[in-house]
Amino acid sequence: MRNQLSRKYSKIDIKQIKEYLTKNNISIDEEKEFKLTLLSDIIEDYKDCVCDIKENGLIITTNNGKTTCLNPSIKLKIQCIKLIIKLLQEIGIKSETIINDDSEDFINSLLSE
């Protein structure tokens, strides 16, 4: 997994998300500010999961190599995706908007490393 120091410097720029919302005529109140912060944290968790899966694979060994199991980051990654979609919708980015090409490029840029 990425170490916490690299995470500090790669933190999603909430300003970038705010600019996208403003561009799409979505107002930002205190509640949305809070949700933007949560969204940023969850996207970073998602990125950590992607890195862990890339580094360690889908199947990992535990118990000094005696046991194999699915990488726990897989389940966490799925939970992150669900939360990201939920928060995007709560902020005002609807499913139809997420599917739009411009929005898809924007969202992919947030999730990329």
Mean pLDDT of the chain, nearest integer: 79
pLDDT at 14: 76
Q: What digits encode the pLDDT tens for the residues 31-68?
A: 988 998 888 889 889 989 999 999 999 999 988 889 99
Strands 67-70 and 59-62, by their bridges, are antiparallel
Alpha-carbon distance values, 60 to 50, 70, 72, 86 (Å): 14, 6, 9, 30
Q: What sign has the CA pseudo-torsion 24, 99, 51, 113?
A: negative
pTM for this one?
0.73
Under 8 Å CB-to-CB from 36, ≥6 apart: which residues?
A: 14, 17, 18, 28, 91
